[in-house]
Amino acid sequence: MHKKNLSELAAGLRSKEFSSVELTQFFLGRISQHQDLNAFITVSAESALQQAQAADQLLAAGNAGPLAGIPIAQKDIFCTLGAKTSCGSKMLDNFIAPYNATVVEHFNSAGAVMLGKLNMDEFAMGSSNENSFYGPVRNPWATDCVPGGSSGGSAAAVAARLAPAVTGTDTGGSIRQPAALCGITGLKPTYGRVSRYGMIAYASSLDQGGPMARSAEDAALLLQTMAGFDLKDSTSVDQAVPDYSTGLNDSLQGLKIGLPKQFFSAELDSQMAATIQAAIAEYQKLGAEVKEVDMPNLNLAIPAYYVIASAECSSNLSRYDGVRFGYRCKNPADLTDLYTRSRGEAFGAEVKRRILMGTYALSAGYYDAYYLKAQQVRRLISDDFKRALSEVDVLMGPVTPSTAFKIGEKTSDPIQMYLEDIYTIAINLAGLPAMSIPAGFIDGKPVGLHVIGNYFSEAKLLNVGHRYQQVTDWHQQAPKGFE
């Protein structure tokens, strides 16, 4: 059952090859069998089976949608009524949300079954999933390596076939980078395409939820359920959601692919470059045309990102003060002690680092030099993308500088860790949609191809991904022990 894609699973449910309850039990079994990956923070077996029973009735009645009865899992950043939502933090280890995120509501209405909540870097800050209060997640392709982050649990769960498809969120690469490192398909939609209501905020102007699945075809089905305007999110965009599946097979004849020369500089690892070039050659065979584009401001993306994201997070995380919910220190002496110890004891090092950076960047006397300057840089970067995307249909390049690295390898050097996102961060600053699709292996570890499109061009990206997946089988390969 774990080898089937979403439409095969839907067909199986309809032909009564298996019931949703059986399917759910099967995946719950795989999750429990592969606990050592540490992909899940919470497994909600009981409620999953209840949802499966309800889905079976819906299926029997014959009016169920494409995701009815299909098990999925949520990144533990989406609030779920009744199940713990920790955001990977000790701060929220005791937090049970009294409401569902809009994305969760969408899956519930579609009749999907939620297997549980996936591990992640604390408050989505990290590129290796080593910043989780619940411990690191292992990469199924090399269990001594990281799965990437912050949606590390999501990527590992899909790669290990513990769930057919899952959700992730991407603030600076948190869907695409782990998708690349785990050999799966991950799409970060246009900012505003998926509601952020109930998705715990890290950096509000950059955060965006999206699907993580084995193929573009599956990702299309997931995005169909996730996307849409939400009155509860003022930054969601009131624009009709197209059918993401109908155009999957459209021809790529004449597709214009831009290759930002800054993505292919001398610093890019030669094996990585060769793998990406091979994937692009495959597109040329499908009829695409390739040209180089210049995006002179891309090198400013990382500093601009770390100012803006940190500034927003320093404010977004102020609500975790030990007063109303979440962790509270024992026997606070006074109010200041309550604040400082609750936050000091419950936040991890990376979260504290970013709160401090952000607080500094917003402080009187520094605001213009940091925050305002970063916003100006952000505009320049967006303009670079706009210019490039007026000449070509999509941009392509690597997702990561290298394949999955060893657990512990970069934890002592935050700058090295930040450079993990060198190719992904600019896209968030511009608010564009982008995707990582499996494009080969280096030393047995997956490589992701980065496909970036214009605003609201998710259907095009999925089409570009799907056609490639029709002529390659990278996305169908399973790590050893998880076949």
Partner 1 sequence: MNSQWEAVIGLEIHTQLSTKSKIFSGAATAYGAEPNTQACAVDLGLPGVLPVLNKDAVRRAVTFGLAIDAEIAPHSVFARKNYFYPDLPKGYQISQFELPIVGNGHLDIEVDGETKRIGITRAHLEEDAGKSLHEDFHGLTGIDLNRAGTPLLEIVSEPDMRSAKEAVAYMRKLHELVRYLEICDGNMQEGSFRCDANVSVRPKGQKEFGTRAEIKNINSFKFVEKAINHEIERQIDVIEGGGKVVQETRLYDANKDETRSMRSKEEANDYRYFPDPDLLPVLIEDSLKDEVRATLPELPDAKKQRFIDQYALDNESATTLTSSRELADFYETVVKASGGEAKLASNWLTGDVLGALNKAGLEISDCPVNAGRLAGLIKRIADNTISGKTAKQVFDKLWNGSDSADEIIEKEGLVQITDTGAIEAIVDKVITANPVPVEQYRAGKDKALMALVGQIMKETQGKANPGEVNKMLIAKLKN
244/370 with CB nearer partner 1: 370
C-alpha dist (Å) from residue 68 to 29, 154, 163, 318, 398: 20, 20, 15, 38, 35
Q: How far is the CB of 156 from partner 1 (least distance, A)?
A: 24
269/321 with CB nearer partner 1: 321
Known catalytic residue at 75: yes
- Hey, what are 444's tokens? 């047995």
- Hey, what are 130's tokens? 């080593």
* Set 19, 86, 174, 310: catalytic member: 174
79/221 with CB nearer partner 1: 79
Q: Are strands 165-169 and 185-188 parallel, antiparallel or unpaired?
A: unpaired
Known catalytic residue at 314: no
* Set 19, 20, 44, 75: catalytic member: 75
Separation of alpha carbons 369 and 339, rounded Å? 29
86/128 with CB nearer partner 1: 86
Any residues with CB less than 8 A from the CB of 162 and at least 6 apart, and which? Answer: 27, 30, 31, 34, 37, 39, 40, 73, 115, 156
Q: How far is the CB of 315 from partner 1 (least distance, A)?
A: 5
* Set 19, 89, 127, 150: catalytic member: 150
95/418 with CB nearer partner 1: 95
31/41 with CB nearer partner 1: 41
Q: How far is the CB of 295 from partner 1 (least distance, A)?
A: 24
Long-range CB contact pairs, 387-391, < 8 A, 24+: 387/295, 388/258, 388/260, 388/293, 388/294, 388/295, 389/258, 389/432, 389/453, 389/454, 391/256, 391/258, 391/291, 391/293
Q: How far is the CB of 324 from partner 1 (least distance, A)?
A: 6
Q: How far is the CB of 347 from partner 1 (least distance, A)?
A: 13
Known catalytic residue at 20: no
Q: How far is the CB of 353 from partner 1 (least distance, A)?
A: 17
Q: How far is the CB of 309 from partner 1 (least distance, A)?
A: 10
159/199 with CB nearer partner 1: 199
- β-pair partners for 167: 211
What residues line the site for partner 1 (CB under 8 A)?
Answer: 78-79, 85, 87, 92, 95, 97-99, 101, 196-201, 203-205, 231-235, 311-312, 314-315, 317-319, 321, 323-325, 335, 339, 359, 362-364, 367, 371
- Hey, what are 409's tokens? 């390898």
Active site residues: 75, 150, 174
